[in-house]
Amino acid sequence: MADYGSYHEFVSRFVGPLVMGGRVEVRDLIGPGVLLPWMNPVDLDANVVTKIVDTLRTRLAKLGPVGSITGLPLDALALAAVWHNLLSMTHPEAKGRASLRRKARQWCLAMLEWAGVPHTRAEVSLRHGVLCGLARLRRVDTHVTFWAGYADFIGVAPPTALVAWPKVRRVREDRTDVPLMELLAALDAEDSDPQTDLVSVARAAFALSPLTDFAIADRPPAFAFEWTPPGVNALADPCLRGAAQRMILARGTAALRAVEQATVRAAKGELPQGAARLLLRFHLEMAITEGMSSKPTAPESRPQSPQGSQGIGPQGPSLASQPLAYDAYARLGYARAARLTGLSPDVVQRALPIDPNRSLPKDPPSAPLLARAGAVEVRT
């Protein structure tokens, strides 16, 4: 299949559907040489770009004030090209081709280096605006059986002639949706050759778009969420930090646990105090947000838990979703948690009432993070 040498073709057939929804076309590998002509494209279709930018503007307005959006930034397009290449390499026929995997790795790393680390709220937001459709991507594979045999079509529709006269020719089509997480698993090759390693490329691509990294935190073990400098830096911005918290909460328990486990691993390593305090604030705020959005249950309808270990307080949310955050909160107390988050103590206490009779675990999950952050336990 032909490659994406044209700016218009790539924007209209890959980036556009990725942003606005629709059928995303994945073709042959894109090389870093396209970035130079894409800086001043001669085939730019203003109508297509305007539609994409309008969708970006509407979507990013939900995050907060991210700045003006006048076009498609080239760094975001470079990251989109990297993801195009990675998706191309998920095809079953690409897995055993070492030379093709080496080429894909080299080209992707070159484009990642060119895109660089995002430094501003606008850069982080626009990158995610272009890539946020990744979480919804599905490849449709079709298995066709007919009177003379069968045929498989990976990511493409079977020819019309093949499926014609289904009753006469005993044609049956079985479609399978392969979500992004299963597609990424195909990048993990059996050999250990670092020159063909595409897993680390995917991890680096996630890291350079922090909000996308947060939005798909519940990933397979090979691509497990980890805290990276771009991700931690993004948390310093209140707008981005709030957006990340809402994304993770919307994703559910699996994403919450993935992020907390990453924080525990980071706290056990060489985590600077400033970064540790930022992560502590991030988790406390996320727990408070969940507590404020949860509906309290009546005492008579609430199931009893042994030793009071399943809730913060009489009407608090379950500890199952954010054990690290709730443990840290219970040990610090609402007053200190309020100072760390900059919220009113009354608001914090109402969102997460502490049960003084609840026993704390002997091996607290928040201990490494509290130690790194220099936070002293003040629970009474």
Asked if residue 261 lies in contact with residue 217, where contact means CB atoms within 8 angstroms, the answer is no
Measured CA angle at 23 (ends 231, 33), to 5 deg? 60
Tokens of 13: 């057939």
For the cut 50, the answer to whether the pLDDT of residue 314 exceeds it is no
pLDDT grade for 301, boundaries at 50, 70 and 90: very low
**DSSP string across 43-83:** S--HHHHHHHHHHHHHHHTTT-------S--HHHHHHHHHH
Tens-digit pLDDT profile for residues 265-281:
999 999 999 999 999 99
The pLDDT score that the predictor gives to residue 3 is 63
For the cut 80, the answer to whether the pLDDT of residue 347 exceeds it is yes
For the cut 80, the answer to whether the pLDDT of residue 9 exceeds it is yes
Asked if residue 46 lies in contact with residue 23, where contact means CB atoms within 8 angstroms, the answer is no
The pLDDT score that the predictor gives to residue 297 is 44
The pLDDT score that the predictor gives to residue 341 is 92
State mean pLDDT over 248-266. 94
Between 67 and 46, the more confident residue is 46
Measured CA angle at 59 (ends 242, 184), to 5 deg? 80
The pLDDT score that the predictor gives to residue 146 is 86
- 145, β-bridge pairs: 150, 172
Between 204 and 68, the more confident residue is 204
Report the DSSP pairing between strands 149-154 and 172-179: unpaired
Coil/strand/helix, residue 22: coil
For the cut 70, the answer to whether the pLDDT of residue 42 exceeds it is yes
For the cut 90, the answer to whether the pLDDT of residue 287 exceeds it is yes
H/E run at residue 175: strand 172-179
For the cut 50, the answer to whether the pLDDT of residue 305 exceeds it is no
Residues 6+ apart with CB under 8 A from 210: 118, 124, 128, 228, 230, 231, 233, 234, 240, 244
Amino acid at 159: P
Asked if residue 214 lies in contact with residue 247, where contact means CB atoms within 8 angstroms, the answer is yes
State mean pLDDT over 331-349. 91
Backbone phi, psi, residue 59, to 5°: -70, -45
For the cut 80, the answer to whether the pLDDT of residue 304 exceeds it is no
Task: Tell me the pLDDT of the chain averaged across its residues.
Answer: 86
**Percentage of the chain lying above the pLDDT 70 cut:** 88
pLDDT grade for 377, boundaries at 50, 70 and 90: low
Asked if residue 136 lies in contact with residue 17, where contact means CB atoms within 8 angstroms, the answer is no
User: pTM for this one?
Assistant: 0.86
pLDDT grade for 354, boundaries at 50, 70 and 90: confident
Report the range of poorest mean pLDDT among 29-43, 64-78, 255-269, 297-311. 297-311
Between 322 and 309, the more confident residue is 322
For the cut 70, the answer to whether the pLDDT of residue 7 exceeds it is yes
d(CA 267, CA 136): 32
| Distance from the Cα of residue 145 to its chain's centroid | 37
Quote helix, strand, coil % in the chain, to nearest 5.
Answer: 55, 5, 40
Measured CA angle at 245 (ends 214, 201), to 5 deg? 10
State mean pLDDT over 277-290. 95
- Locus of tokens 């449709």: 140
Backbone phi, psi, residue 115, to 5°: -65, -40
Asked if residue 137 lies in contact with residue 131, where contact means CB atoms within 8 angstroms, the answer is no
The pLDDT score that the predictor gives to residue 61 is 87
**DSSP string across 123-174:** HHHHHHHHHGGGGG-EEEEEEEEETTEEEEEESSPPPHHHHSSTTTTT-EEE
The pLDDT score that the predictor gives to residue 358 is 67
Tens-digit pLDDT profile for residues 133-160:
998 998 888 888 888 888 888 888 888 8
**Percentage of the chain lying above the pLDDT 90 cut:** 55
